[in-house]
Chains A and B, each alone.
Chain A
């Protein structure tokens, strides 16, 4: 149908499709606003102003975008290796918990040591929570979608247990019992760059995205990740340790989500870890919305930067809208869901536009293959599964004899 489009036009159209999908979701949202008796034009006006209309609004948007970018970057890594990580919510929680525990139990040290330490702790927590489903998928053929969802449930209960019990602020334990930690040590606060709340989180997230770009397209490891994502079969044939790479993809993905969790705690204004009993209360659904940011960014780490910014604006603006037209905040959750559905449903058309493009976008994205790729062939003694391209294995047929 669009045969006459040039390569460049196709690319532009492909990248604008997810944005169009967001608009489609907002039109749906306008209908909902009308049904709620609110004026959608006024509401969306408030939304835009609330997200991008002032310096304060922009800062709020950038800070909101930060966890999305961290998570989104991790999602890009997973996706490129053909792994779906629905577990970023739980990985963020673990990252927040690990970092919080580090700040509570480590001795006071200067910020230059403390801040990297708590970030590292957060990264480890997330990485652990990504490694579990990664290893389960790679070595036990457990579907990662299900295991990550279950680990989200485990994570939230763990958070509630720890914040209500062992980690609770001693003052709260005696008092009203709000499940939160004490004010964490000041030397672990994320350094403020300007104003009174713009901390280094956004800078770290952008650096992380750039580093991921290099990882994926300029290193042997990145080559392995993408090779496994494109064809497990071919990658295996080329001697790439497929299982280890799959486990690693989820571990890395989780590590980024863990950083997001740590940044949420130590970049917050209260400088405590707090729970309202739900995962979303801590993450603000960033673990799910990061997926959307990654898709909006065409599963490219660099494009995920502006995509996260836009999506952060959508969330901050949504809150402004909700306050301005006096509708329950549940509307934002529902709208958020619609955005996810529309963006994901439109994603196929993005891929389609890129693939009729004459060359294989996924491989050729940036030309060169990394040097030193044969190193992977030396890599490991990968015991190939007897058969089976899918992660469940095909060696056993079950009889249908219920």
Chain B
């Protein structure tokens, strides 16, 4: 066994963990905004799938990965807006309406793919950008500093999100609306307005997450995300509703996924057991939920639609 875990393998697993963590990270970060304001968006996976297809299709047509990213973001923005209409204005039961959005995204992305593309054609992927000097550090450089630009940006978005949520007026409104919507409303904060904003941020980030996934893999297929959106939602709980916690969770999941992949290619996990290994993220999530539920508290208004004077 010890020969298996050579430094080369470990470095490869580390680097791939970071790549695999990014779509989860972006989607979960968007969901964090929504949940801190009191809205649970269960449709993330559907939004990711449509973002992934749009991103893929845009790159296929224009050969420009950045346009692909933009296209994914736009689709996410529109779907985030739609989710806000459903959850905030129509006050739908958030635990279920999101499943509808997921099914819609699952079917629609597949439908569009079959109608517009048909057979999978590989597309350009994000160019790798080595960070000068840092990328030359042995091992560390390979793991952390030889990625594409989106990956660096995704990790930079974590401190930005932390700052926005904890240190800006907008962030304070988000937290107020998520914890004490009545009090926020009395002070003149538009509960619906803030929740629309966070849902749109969440949708946009989910769309970007999907596009990043498709453009990193260079391919689209039916159900490309394979439930990543749901894992992302769980990561928000996992990270106790804080961007840093969410990032650590995403990295852990990236690592588990990368490890399973690597062990599979090295034939350490027999083919028969790949399904068992694929349960790992879900089981870890459930265990983590038990742990988190004991220590942390969800935003009090989470999943509760706001009605004035009620």
Contact = CB atoms under 8 A, between A and B. Distances in A.
Do A and B pair up? The answer is: yes
How many A residues touch the partner, as a band? 35 or more
Interface in A150-172: 150-151, 153-154, 157-158, 160-161, 164-165
A134 B85 CA distance: 31
Given A145-B40, A397-B297, A328 B175 contact: no
Contact of B237 (A136, A143, A342): A143
Given A146-B289, A147-B286, A341 B100 contact: yes
Contact of B282 (A150, A347, A394): A150
Contact of A344 (B100, B285, B290, B296): B100
B93 interface: yes
Contacts of B97: 340-341, 344-345
Which residue, A151, A328, A336, A345, has most C-beta atoms of chain B within 10 A? A345
Interface string A111-147: 0000000000000000000000000100011110111
A339 interface: yes
Contact of A86 (B99, B175, B222): B99
Contacts of A150: 230, 234, 282-283, 285-286, 289
Interface string A167-180: 00000000000000
Q: Is the interface of A mostly helix, strand, loop or mixed?
A: helix
B297 A347 contact: no
Contacts of A347: 92-93
Interface in B278-310: 278-279, 281-283, 285-286, 289-290, 293-298, 300, 305
Contacts of B298: 143, 390, 392
A204 interface: no
Nearest to A332: B107
A215 interface: no
Nearest to B114: A328
A136 B285 CA distance: 13
A339 B300 CA distance: 30
A342 B104 CA distance: 12
Given A142-B293, A146-B234, A333 B103 contact: yes
Given A334-B104, A392-B297, A400-B175, A149 B92 contact: no
B156 interface: no
B272 A154 contact: no
A39 interface: no
B95 A86 contact: yes
Interface string A375-402: 0000000000000001011101110101
Interface in B254-287: 272-273, 275-276, 278-279, 281-283, 285-286
Interface string B120-163: 00000000000000000000000000000000000000000010
A285 interface: yes
Interface in B17-56: 40, 42, 46
Given A164-B275, A344-B97, A337 B107 contact: yes
B100 A338 contact: yes
A330 B46 CA distance: 13
26 contacts: A86-B42, A149-B233, A150-B289, A151-B282, A154-B282, A157-B279, A164-B272, A278-B223, A288-B99, A330-B222, A333-B106, A334-B103, A334-B104, A335-B107, A338-B100, A338-B104, A339-B100, A340-B96, A341-B97, A346-B90, A348-B90, A390-B300, A396-B295, A396-B296, A398-B297, A402-B244
Interface of B: 40, 42, 46, 86, 90-93, 95-97, 99-108, 110-111, 114-115, 162, 165-166, 175, 222-223, 227, 230, 233-234, 237, 240, 242-245, 272-273, 275-276, 278-279, 281-283, 285-286, 289-290, 293-298, 300, 305
